[in-house]
Amino acid sequence: MTGQCPVKVKQAAYKIGNQNTEFLIADYGSICFVQITQIGKVGKLTFAARDKPDNLEGNSTFTINSLIGIENEKVDVLARQIVAELNKSPPYKTLLLGYSCIADPPFRKIISILKDLGLGNGILKPNNNDI
């Protein structure tokens, strides 16, 4: 069997505050898996999806579900922000977020890093952090 794996994957590590924080994005087409960890484990899994159709004002609504782990509203808010970034324009994607951080990094920093890795523009940008 020849050819490339159809799953696009990006991985990077950053020091945020005093914590090493690892990021992984795996784009499966209609589903995007994002892992953010400071302890090397998947942690809490959260599913987030854009509801259809958009409401009359043109704003989308989103469904957020905790799949595994303790309820954490902060992680749900982060999942909402990430899935909104994924769905600014078609193709629309659902999100599976794995989150295990000791010290919660600022969400603006997380979103900025994910955008730098290519989240939200339909493709993952190549760089030196490719797997």
For the beta carbon of residue 11, count every other beta carbon within 10 angstroms: 14
pLDDT digits (tens, 9 = 90+) for 6-25: 778 899 999 998 999 999 99
Residue 129 confidence (pLDDT): 41
Question: Whole-model pTM?
Answer: 0.85
Residue 121 confidence (pLDDT): 60
**Which long-range CB contacts under 8 A does 109-116 form with residues at least 24 apart?**
109/16, 110/36, 110/78, 110/82, 111/81, 111/82, 111/85, 113/12, 113/14, 113/23, 114/23, 114/25, 114/34, 114/82, 114/85, 115/85
For the beta carbon of residue 84, count every other beta carbon within 10 angstroms: 17
Of the candidate ranges 5-9, 47-51, 110-114, the one whose mean pLDDT is the lowest:
5-9
Q: What are phi and psi of 51, to 5 degrees?
A: -80, 150
Q: Per-residue confidence at 2, pLDDT binned at 50, 70, 90?
A: low
Residue 53 confidence (pLDDT): 61
pLDDT digits (tens, 9 = 90+) for 114-129: 999 988 765 554 444 4
Is the model more confident about 112 or about 7?
112
* CA 71/CA 26 separation, integer angstroms: 24
17 with 33: CB under 8 angstroms?
Answer: no
Is the model more confident about 129 or about 110?
110
In the chain, what are the domains?
A: 16-116 (3.30.230.90)
